[in-house]
Every structure is written in structure tokens, then in C-alpha cells.
Structure 1
């Protein structure tokens, strides 16, 4: 079934029980991730539970197609319904999912993440046409949707933006839902919550002080330094990110989205695209200042290496969410290991 954009948030909050597998795709990687996690929480309260959540990649299923059905049919040691999360999916997996949907095993909810898929995508058409599956598109927020996201998040903390502040936020956010949410969290911390029963006004000065006109640029610096194996730049970029109060989870989430984009770019190259063509598929588009760096990353990272890096990031995210774990140290060590892997590939 195809989920209309106006119905997407309602569906995500309470997925149709007839859908055993749900494809979430589109250029807004942050929104894809957000909707996947929202649906995961409708099944599993603790997203760090290794017994009820299985993480698979595109290459995992290509090398072992039966693993999808095996994971979907597996029973949790401690009971409860399971989630099977598939990252970086593309049309090369269509046949595997077609077979699975024809005779689904177990009661797990299968959540499938993909980048931008065109109207003729075989994977997208399969999920849209199946009665026991669903497809949800994720595109960058238009101004109306973005205003709703801003007002809703601020209102939850007893805050309301003055007109000038709202205009500033609309002008400087919106290309990626994940970045938008991170920047709004910074604004909330800076402005402070409102008092119970009344709304505190967020001023233009508040917005300018906490949300830069290059939102997410510090994250880009960290990611590019790690992916290129530039240790000195990584150390500097991490220091800047920490000075800007960017938390470890935000860095790992941004890195996860970037690795997924590189994975999709590698898949495009395997099917005949050149590097420039592969980069045009990035959403949001790569800023011109990062173009050379991302091109080098595409040349230096194949899909097998990207899978290993993504596994490291996912494990780090789980560790950071565990009570008492030093999230800053875990994030730094993970970035260091990825940078070392990038340097090893240059030898």
C-alpha cells in the first residue's frame, strides 16, 4: 500500500497491523531515520534491546537472502515481538522482499530504509502494490510542514517563537529533519523551558545565538575528517562540535546518515553511474564546500567497508544509550576507528 504524505505521520504513530514490512525512503535521511525509530518504538520500548531488534544491511541480504526470513521468524529469548531493520536497501533486494512478502515468516515487523527511489523503482513498486506491505516517502519539509515541526517542538517545552525568530528558523532549517531536530534541541537548551501554564517567547536573538545559518556544518566537519582519515582535522572538528554542545548521539546519527548516503552512492556506481552522478543523489545535496571531500570518500570507501563502519556506529549508539556509559568517549573512539580504517585504505 502507498501511504499518502498527509497520512504518513498518523500511520507511523500506529502502523497498520496488516503491514508485515514497511519501506521508508526518500531524500530526507533525517526524516527517514525519525520515522523508522518512531515505528520501532510501537513494538519495542527499549531500542537498545539486542534480543528484540535485528540490524541488517543491503550486503547482508545480498550475501545471504534467507537471513531476512530467518530473522523475521526468530523468537526473542525474553519474549515480545521483534523488529528487523534493514538499512541501505535498493532495487537489488526486490526479489528477496518479493519472496518474503509472498509467504512472510514469524510476526516480526520488518522496517526497510532506503534513499531516494524513483517512480519506476522495483522495490518501491513492490511495497506500494503489496497488500501486506507499505511504502512511505520522506521529502524535505516545505515551509508549512517546517513551521509545524518548529511550533510543535517548542510548544512541548512551553516556548513560542516571536515572528522574527520563526522567520529566521524557517530560513535556516528544513533541508534535513534530523538536523532540524538537533538545532531545535540546542535552541531549547539555550532559551530554557517556559513556566507551567504559560508560554515563554523565543526571540530572534535566541534563535541567532543557538542556530547558525550553516546548521549542521560542525557535524559535516567531524564526518568528513573521520571519513578521510585526517586525524588532526578530526581532533579540531570534535573540539568545535563539543564547544557548540553537540552531543554524541547527534554526531553518531549524522554519521550513520552519511554512511547510508555513501552506500547508496556506491550502489549507483556499481550500476554504471560516475562519481558526479552518484553525488547528485545525495539528499540534502552536498554543499559545494564539501564536494571534493565527498568525492574522495566515494573513491576510498567500498560497500563492504561502509558496512563495517555502519556496524561500528550502530554499536556505539547502543552503548551511548546504555545507562552510565561515557558517550563522549565512545563516540570519539568510534570516529578514531573509522578514521584509522580510512587511512588504512590509502596505503
Structure 2
């Protein structure tokens, strides 16, 4: 059976169906897969790290000994409790995919040790995967796809992790921190834990954006970010200076074009949220605008319109395409794009 809706997945992870003997948790984000697998393992057996109750295999083990997987699934727990067989499956070999699928089907039907639980962690399995099809088809198995975290999921992860260390973030600081986190959950979790240490575990502090300034440091590609903001603010000389400074720091023309496209995207998101009823300042925070840049960003957001940005998007896409052509003068292309943006900003009174 397939569990794709978040409430169904969370319900299953909290209280697995007693009739289910196997679960396949798969997806592109290995951190989400691992978190859900760990949560389920903790519900299936009392001691998920106990080698007497748990067998941990990889696809390499299957490759070297094809019979080992079914052997582990048929074995009884040495300590008399429920047995967990955990397979971390990262191969693209069709033969191993088929082998794991056959073992899952046999175990789900109760042909091995029916009291054991088979837990598989896998990558982004396609629709043609025999393993995925077997898990989706068997009533006694659960197939759980994992997708990239939404901002709300990341915010919840941040709150829950920091709460365990008795620290927290204000709403503005939380929005800022979430906007700067990487998408992969495993890396994001490391950053959250690092933040908890920075704030002081057990301190009871609720941090503000100003408290995060030293932790976040300078934004990546700061010169390009400043140049993009200057261009959209109508300050051509400053934008050109920022682009040239970035070039000296090793940031080429394509990165400059991306920075201007990213700034355009933030303006578009802010204006879209405002059009839906959000306050402009609230919309800017939701778009991840750093508090130090908020005043200038809001000045720009009050002048640009969604129609303006749609027209400008074509210019950005054309510049990006030209930069990728062999031998293209990408630095000049980026500066010409900045000139176009700044010129339109000046005509809007910026």
C-alpha cells in the first residue's frame, strides 16, 4: 500500500499497523528518509541499535551474498523480542532491485519469519523499480515516498530541535534562518544543532534577527547580492562597482545574472504575497529578506509591479542563455543586464 499524505505517514510512523511486516521509505532527500526510518525503527523494536534484535544490511551485502537477505528475514531474535531487518539500499542495479523486491514480497506474505519487520531505506526509486512496485502492491507492506521539505516543515524542524535545548527564535528570526538553510534535511539539521550551540543550550534565549547576525555572517556572494539590489534600486554606478568587485573575488558573469534573477524572484514572491492580502513588510520577511536590507527592499517593492518583473524576467533569461554560450563575454553581458534593470528602475523614480 502507498502512504503519500503527510497525516497518514505521521500516523503510521507513530503507531505502525500490526498487520504490516515491511516498509519501504524512499526519496531524493536522504535526510528525510533517514529521519522517518529512525522514527519507525524506534516503534518497531525497543532497542533499534541492539545487534541481537536488529540486522543492518546494505546493497553491497546483497551483491556479495544473494541469499543473506532472506536468511536474515527468516531468522529469529536471539533475545526473544521482535526482530528488525534494516536494508539501506542505494544501488541502481536492476538485479539487486529485483532481489530486494522478491524478498519483500515473500516476507509480506508471511513466508519467512512473520514476526520480523523489514525496513528499507532507498533513494529516488522510479516507477519501473521492482522494489517500489512490490511495496506498493502488497497489503502487508507500506511504501512511503519522501519529498523535499516545504518551508513549513523546515520551520517545524527548527522549532522542535531548538526546544530540546531550551532555546528559540522569534518569528522574524525563524523566517530569516529558514530562508538561509540548505534544502537537504541532514545538512539542515547540522546547521540547526550548530545554532543551538551558538545560542547556548539551556539558556532559555529567544533570539531575534540581530542575535543571528554574527551566526549567519555575510551572505554568500555578498558583492553580487549588493550589486543586484543596487541595480533594482536604480543605482547603476554602485551596481557596476559591485559586479566588478565580485569578478575580482572570482564570481563570473553567470553568477551575477543568477543573483539578479534571485533578487527579481524575491520581489515577485513579495508582491504576490502582498497581492494575496499580506502586509508588504510581512511578505518581505516571508521571502527571506535579511532585516538589514529590509528598508531598501521595501522601497523597491513599492515601485516595481508584477507586470514590470514579468517583462524583466525575459531579459534575465536571455542574459543567462547568452552567458552559457562558448566564448561569450559573460561579464559584459551581466553589466548590460544591470544597466537595463537600473535604467528601468530610474524611470520608475527609484
TM-score normalized by the length of structure 2: 0.54
- Which of 124, 132, 140 is the aligned partner of 2:140? 132
Q: 1:35 to 1:207 in 2, by over 3 A?
A: farther
Counterpart position of 2:68: 67
Deviation digits for residues 31-81 of structure 1, max 9, x if unmatched?
Answer: 111111111111334343111111112232244343223212322322211
Contact 1:190 1:206 in 2 (8 A): no
| Structure 2 unmatched ranges of 5 or more | 92-96, 221-350
SS at match of 1:113: strand
Does 1:21 pair with 2:22?
yes
Which is bigger in relative contact order (C-alpha 8 A, separation at least 6)? Answer: 1
SS at match of 1:119: coil
Counterpart position of 1:94: 101
Distance (Å, rounded) in 2 between the aligned partners of 1:206 and 1:74: 54
SS at match of 2:45: coil
Give RMSD over aligned pairs.
2.4
Distance (Å, rounded) in 1 between the aligned partners of 2:63 and 2:163: 45
Cα offset for 1:158?
3.3
Cα offset for 1:210?
4.1
Does 1:110 pair with 2:115?
no
Contact 1:5 1:137 in 2 (8 A): no
- Which of 167, 180, 184 is the aligned partner of 1:172? 180
Counterpart position of 1:35: 36
Cα offset for 1:120?
3.4
Contact 1:159 1:201 in 2 (8 A): yes
Counterpart position of 2:56: 55
Distance (Å, rounded) in 2 between the aligned partners of 1:211 and 1:126: 45
Deviates more, 1:118-127 or 1:50-59: 118-127
Distance (Å, rounded) in 2 between the aligned partners of 1:121 and 1:51: 31
Contact 1:141 1:174 in 2 (8 A): no
Counterpart position of 2:206: 201
Corresponding pairs, count: 211
Q: 1:85 to 1:166 in 2, by over 3 A?
A: same
Q: Which has the larger radius of gyration?
A: 2
Contact 2:59 2:87 in 1 (8 A): yes
